[in-house]
Amino acid sequence: MALRRCHLNPKKTLFLLCDIQEKFRLAMPLFENMIKNVDKLTKAGKVLDVPLIVTEHYPEKLGKTVAQLDVSHAKLVSSKTLFSMVTPEVKAVIKDIFSGKPEDVVLYGLESHICVEQTAIDLLEQNINVYIVADCCSSRLNQDRDLALDRLQQAGCVITTSESVIFDLVRDKNNAQFDTIRKLVSQTSVDMELRRTGAGLPVGSAKL
């Protein structure tokens, strides 16, 4: 599947936050770094009025979404046992939000090689453009995360970063929300030790 790189439009974009739950905290390398990046991206989405859907995998055992993240504006916070976020409940809410489906999905969370990867593949099968936010994803092993990003890029996803997504949604300094966004991005994103991926391309690049 060929990569399609286009500008993100807040009115045609959906944020999917996948399973960033309390029980994963001690198991994931760089978890606290990831949370800081996720917090910035999620807050920016709220400011820009991008709809958000959150899932929690088997929360009875794995806990709720971490308290540092404000997801009070989410259209849905849904528990699941399916690894993919594309559950019947999520699909119904997406259909209601967009009267069909979004043009683009910005996807981030845990674990990169399981729930994030399976969600991305399900979305690609629906001909939805998928942007994987690499500095907002993690796995228990960094190699699993990095290889998942490789596979997802090859499958047709755009591998990007939180600040790239934010600025692409804003597009213009004259955007009415720019001053608020500027405060969010004034502090540099936290490093997630991402290696260079696929065919010598850095994260965020795509063959056109």
Active-site annotation, residues: 19, 80, 115
Specify whether the backbone of 17 is left (phi greater than 0), alpha (psi in -120 to 50) or beta. beta
| CA quadruple 100, 178, 46, 99: dihedral, nearest 10 | -10
Matching residue, tokens 């019947």:
88
